[in-house]
Amino acid sequence: MKRWMLFFLAILALPARADLRVLACEPEWAALAAELGGEHVAATSATTALQDPHHIEARPSLIARARNADLLVCTGAELEIGWLPILQREAGNPRIQAGAPGYLEAAALVPLLERPARVDRSEGDVHAAGNPHIQTDPRNVLRVAAALAQRLAQLDPANAAHYAARHADFGRRWQAALARWEAQAVPLRGVEVVSQHKGFPYLYAWLGMREVAVLEPKPGVEPSAGHLAAVQQRLAARPPRMILRAAYQSGRASEWLAARSGLPVVVLPYSVGGSAQARDLFGLFDDTLARLLAAVK
Amino acid sequence: MLPRKPLAAPLAIALAAACAPAAADGEIDAIRAEIAAMKQHYETRIAALEARLQEAETRTAVPEPAAQAPATGGGRMNPDIGLILQGRYAQRDDLAERFIGGFAPVGGHAEGGGRGFSLDHSELLLSASVDPDWRGHAILAMADGAVEVEEAWFQSLGLGNGLTLKGGRFYSGLGYLNEQHPHAWDFADAPLMYQALFGERFSNDGLQLKWLAPTETYLEFGLEAGRGGVVAGEFDGNGVGAWTAFAKLGGDVGTDNSWRAGLAYLDARPRDRASHWEDANGVEAETLFGGSSRAWVADFVWKWAPDGNARERNFKFQAEYFRRAETGTLSCADNTAALPVAGACAGVSDAYRTRQDGWYAQGVYQFMPRWRAGLRVDRLDSGTQALGGGFTGVLAPVDYAPERYSLMLDYSPSEFSRFRVQYARDESMPGIDEDQWTLQYVMSLGAHGAHAF
């Protein structure tokens, strides 16, 4: 009897009390909301860095969290098109609908790369607005931070000064870190790499790295052995320095090529939580750079 | 644009002027050649710079429209239009009639055509926001010479407090599979339980109100009132043909597992619900049923994926159980066919009472990207079927426990295409053990609504 009582109490448990409840679609935005909101914000992420943000189940637990959220922060640019619309529809929560102040789309705040000339499914999983993987460039994080801080203040005006102060502090620390990262990354300029998925154009644009091949024949399409062999042959004449993949991606294709070409595979954390070191946003870029630099040593 | 010539020429002249006075005769040619080379070099560099500038200009030009791009929640198209192409090849025994033993068929068409090749279930989907507070959605099923409105409803987005109102024709929220369209099914056909209860599924014209509790665990309650669809038969009157109430509970266990359980109650008032029997003389009799039909439906789904990343491997278990009680009056409406043998049932009308149950359980495992295999077990029990004295020697209900075992393997080249092969051992009709083979394709074009859990 007692155990049943506990079970029912657990079901009826209400979500954490905070001035603002933020549901982020990806861990990087949850981490950013935590940086900017401090104790006034309870931020959680719908996904982890080990999950493919294109393919998430609209699980009951996510709908429950969307129901209680004051602010939904997502990458947008159709990255979450397979699951986010369900959360918004089923949550019965007008605060987080598209167009409401409680919905912030990060990709709308930064210049997007790789806008496809042709949007057709024969091109694979392409996004009409451009490549959505914007969080791999720390300058984009700064742009999103400015908008997010404003949005927090708009939704919780009582703590506006608090959010502004935390944003200013975050901006200072981030600028300092940016200078440090850019100094560290000098050896990466012009380095030629192979990516498993077109997931890093913003990182490459920031560091001046060059993507000479992609293992997926089309975005989101698993490479076949034949396709990988063709990539290997093409690279043989002028071998790149490394193969990059994100922590959530299967290692099959990159390990296949690595075994045959001798190239090192660098697994990037991709988001907060993607590696033991990537505990927060600063750790994410510290670890990303450390892994890249180790491969060019 | 940089003015290429005007910049390059003065540079070359200045360089030449600086060098010329000091030059001896022999050196002049060499210097000229050097200048020409430098000029060439600078021209190419300037050309390269121009190209880079142009590229940079186009690149910075891109963000503007991107920044104004509509927020997610559908594409740019308004409305979103999608098309599902679904067809099959079916290998079946040549049977004059198909039914589920011990269950009086409830209207509605059983799943798609007959044997051989057929366009099983192709659908056109339309969906868009109506205004900031409402959303509209319609799904039309296309068959030769006919268009069937499968769903056409509006849904609220702005009620708040966890409330959502839906109105129109919609698939009831009872059970787990009921709301899913055939293209989202894991098997090529509906479970026997759904076929016995609703023909294929419970579709209702009416209103649905759902409330999502503000708890951390997913807890949802729903209430539906409507015409009652096939369950209520020819319900034609003021008021409500069927009420449905349901509760759903769900959550995660770690990052690898998620689940949902539901319980629903359906209370319908059938009026002139048509069904077919074979009477004591072996003549087909059309019967009409009026009274009450009450059913409980329990459902459970468990999904597993390592790290919650279903891309590589995942497993899904689902099971549903129903118990239905019907009481009322059964009357023979038409029993005149098949002369020379006369029907035994014509004009008879008497009490009718049943209490039946059934379930199915299935598991689907994605063992590598793109490939899934699944097993489903269906079992029903005809239970109690009591007919009033007027039917003695006229209609004899069959006691039977229909069973079916289905195995399927499917391959999805992408998330928008799927090919499936399914084998089923079907013992849903007394005395008939049938081996069924189905080959199926499911293709989705255009805007394709996100799939629910």
**Which among B58, B216, B259 is the top mutation candidate for probing chain A, defined by the most A β-carbons within 10 Å of its own β-carbon?**
B216
Task: Confirm or reject contact between A107 and chain B (CB < 8 A).
Answer: yes
Choose the most confident range, by mean pLDDT, from A12-16, B38-42, B153-157: B153-157
Measured CA to CA, the distance from residue B165 to residue B209 in angstroms comes to 5
Q: Which of residues 118-177 of B touch A (CB under 8 A)?
A: 132-133, 135, 155, 157-164
Q: How far apart are CA A203 and CA A266, in angstroms?
A: 14
pLDDT category of residue B340 using cuts at 50, 70 and 90:
low
What percent of chain A is modeled with pLDDT above 90?
81
Asked whether the beta carbons of residue B219 and residue A115 sit closer than 8 angstroms, the reply is no
Lowest mean pLDDT among A47-51, A115-119, A175-179, B158-162: A115-119
Choice among A48-52, B104-108, B276-280, B383-387 with the minimum mean pLDDT: B104-108
- Please report the residues numbered 323 through 342 in chain B whose beta carbons come closer than 8 angstroms to any beta carbon of chain A: none
Query: Given this model, what pLDDT does residue B2 score?
Result: 42
User: In the predicted model, what is the mean pLDDT of chain B?
Assistant: 85
What pLDDT is stored for residue B25 in this prediction? 65
User: In the prediction, which pLDDT does A123 show?
Assistant: 79
Tell me the CA distances in angstroms from A288 to A147, A173, A175, A186, one per residue in order: 25, 18, 17, 14
Dist. CA A192–CA A188, nearest whole Å: 9
How far does B114 lie from chain A, in Å, by closest CA?
32
Distance of CA B17 to CAs B26, B32, B37, Å?
A: 17, 11, 16
Residues A196-251 pLDDT 10s: 999 999 999 999 999 999 999 988 888 888 999 999 999 988 899 999 999 999 99
Q: Does any CB of chain A come closer than 8 Å to the CB of residue B62?
A: yes
SS (H, E, C) B194-256: HHHHHCCCCEEEEEEEEEECCCCCEEEEEEEEECCHHHHECCCCCCCCEEEEEEEEEEEECCC
CA-based nearest distance B301→chain A, Å: 11
Asked if B74 has any chain A CB less than 8 Å from its own CB, the reply is: yes
Q: Phi, psi at residue A62, to the nearest 5°?
A: -70, -35
For residues B281 and B182, the model is more confident at B182
Residue B356: pLDDT above 80? yes
> What local confidence, expressed as pLDDT, does residue B31 receive?
78
Radius of gyration of chain B (CA): 34
Check CB contact under 8 Å for B369 and A130: no
Q: What is the pLDDT of residue A209?
A: 96
- Residue of A67, A110, A222 to mutate, testing the B interface (most B Cβ within 10 Å of its Cβ): A67
pLDDT at residue B223 tops 50:
yes
Residue A183 Cα, gap to closest chain B Cα (Å): 24
pLDDT of residue B15: 44
- Structure token pair of residue A44: 């959680």
pLDDT at B7 (0 to 100): 46
Is B309 close to A50, i.e. CB distance below 8 A? Answer: yes
Work out the minimum CA distance from A75 to partner chain B, whole angstroms. Answer: 9
Task: Enter the DSSP assignment of A246.
Answer: E
Confidence band of A120 (pLDDT split at 50, 70, 90) = confident
For A241-281, how does the pLDDT look when each residue is reduced to its tens digit (9 = 90+)?
999 999 999 999 999 999 999 999 999 999 999 999 999 99
Entry pTM: 0.85
- Cα–Cα distance for residue pair B28/B30, rounded to 1 Å: 5
- pLDDT above 80 for B74: no
- Ordered DSSP codes for A157-189: GGGHHHHHHHHHHHHHHHHHHHHHHHHHTGGGT
Mean pLDDT of A110-122: 86
Nearest chain A alpha carbon to B253: A61
Within an 8 Å CB–CB cutoff, is residue A9 touching chain B? no
Question: Does the pLDDT at position B194 exceed 60?
Answer: yes
Q: Who among A51, A112, A221 is closest to B308 (CB)?
A: A51
For range B232-244, the mean pLDDT: 88
Q: Is the pLDDT of residue B231 over 60?
A: yes
What's residue B56's pLDDT? 56
With CA atoms as reference, the chain B residue closest to A248 would be: B309
Answer yes or no: is pLDDT of B75 > 50: no
Is the distance from CB of B353 to CB of B334 less than 8 angstroms? no
Q: Which two tokens stand for residue A216?
A: 């997926």
Q: Among B204-208, B214-218, B340-344, where is mean pLDDT lowest?
A: B340-344
Cα separation, B402 vs B421, whole angstroms:
23
Rounded to an integer, the average pLDDT of A45-68 is 95
CB contact under 8 A, B212 and A10: no
Of A208, A258, A203, the closest CA to residue A232 belongs to A258
H or E element in which residue A18 lies: none
pLDDT bin (cut points 50, 70, 90) of residue B334 is confident
User: Residue B233 has what pLDDT?
Assistant: 86
Helix (H, G, I), strand (E, B) or coil at A40: helix
> What is the average per-residue pLDDT within B361-390?
96
Which residues in chain A have their CB less than 8 angstroms from residue B371's CB?
A: none
